[in-house]
Chain A
Amino acid sequence: MKTLKLILIAFLMIGVQSLFAQKYISKDGHVWFNASTPLENIEAHNRQSASILDAATGELVFNILIKSFEFKATLMQEHFNENYMESGKFPKATFKGKITNLSAINFAKNGSYNADITGDLTIHGVTKPINTKGLIVIKEGVITGTSKFIVEPKDYNIIIPKLVEGKIAKQIEVNVDITYKKM
């Protein structure tokens, strides 16, 4: 009887521990986009995106500062912030959503898993639903996530003047590459 109790307590403790250990955090996620056209090479990188992943519920949150996107050309970066993204008014872009096929991912076991992700993306003060695929790689307890999706500036009320319309892609490819640590 006593041993049974002990085993029960041990199981309970393991249960409690894993409950606490299921949130993952990253502050240095790499997000970059490519809006290049044959006329102009437009690419910018942000290596300070913050994200929390709850492995128990699949909830996923991303926050990113628009002003932390680095372009090769300073002028491009200024136009991006001042004219298009209005980062003084809308300093952040956010994603709030979840992994919908959570049962297909075993966070405790090494492997590569395809993730279906759905949620709300807010850019330039405009929120739109988004669906995308991601790849989650688990290796010795380290979780790495990558994803790629398309955004269209017009969906987020980002107005590109006629004069430069041909230089900026209408469909912009956004890439995410992030490594999580246990919280």
Chain B
Amino acid sequence: MKKLIIVGLVVAIVVAIGVYLYVFHKPARTAASEEATFSVTTSNLLSEFEADENAANAKYLEKVIKVSGVVSSVTENDAAIIVYLAEPESTSGVSCSFLKSDLDKSKIAVGDKVFIKGICAGYLMDVMLNRCALGM
């Protein structure tokens, strides 16, 4: 009986630690592990947000979007690499933020035509995609 209690206790503790680890250290959601809900071009995505931001928010926010476009710049900050897709001469575009561990910078260059999957965060001067993944 005593043994059973001890075994029970050990199991309970292991489960508790497992739940704790899962809840507090679960990996961040990234676009890489999900199928895209929408597939659009840079200019179409932009014009949808420019035409009716609320409608576009309702459609795209938190969804994984696969966007195609031409790389206009690649920049880096403390936490992320930002790949900016825009038409030449355009003042707005799609800003794709990658966790540094999710992008090999040598694989991307200005002028490349790319597909990028990302989670849509909304629209400021550009449409913002976070936790992106580079596609083929």
Known: A45-B79, A63-B124, A68-B130. A74 touches B27 (CB 8 A): yes
Q: Are A75 and B24 in contact (CB under 8 A)?
A: yes
Q: Are A75 and B26 in contact (CB under 8 A)?
A: yes
Total A-B contacts with CB atoms under 8 angstroms apart: 62
- Report the separation of the CA atoms of residues A39 and B60 in the bound assembly, to the nearest whole angstrom: 36
Q: Are A28 and B77 in contact (CB under 8 A)?
A: yes
Give the number of chain B interface residues (Cβ < 8 Å).
26
Q: Is the interface of A mostly helix, strand, loop or mixed?
A: strand
Shortest Cβ distance from residue B31 to the other chain A in the assembled complex, whole angstroms:
13
Q: Are B130 and A27 in contact (CB under 8 A)?
A: no
> C-beta contact mask, B6-42 vs A, less than 8 Å → 1, else 0?
0000000000000000011111110000000000000
Q: List 18 A-B contacts (CB under 8 A).
A: A27-B95, A27-B124, A27-B125, A28-B75, A28-B82, A47-B80, A48-B95, A49-B124, A50-B126, A65-B121, A67-B130, A68-B97, A73-B24, A73-B25, A74-B25, A74-B29, A75-B23, A91-B121
**A residues lining the B interface (CB < 8 Å):** 27-28, 30, 45, 47-50, 63-65, 67-68, 70, 73-75, 77, 87-88, 91-92
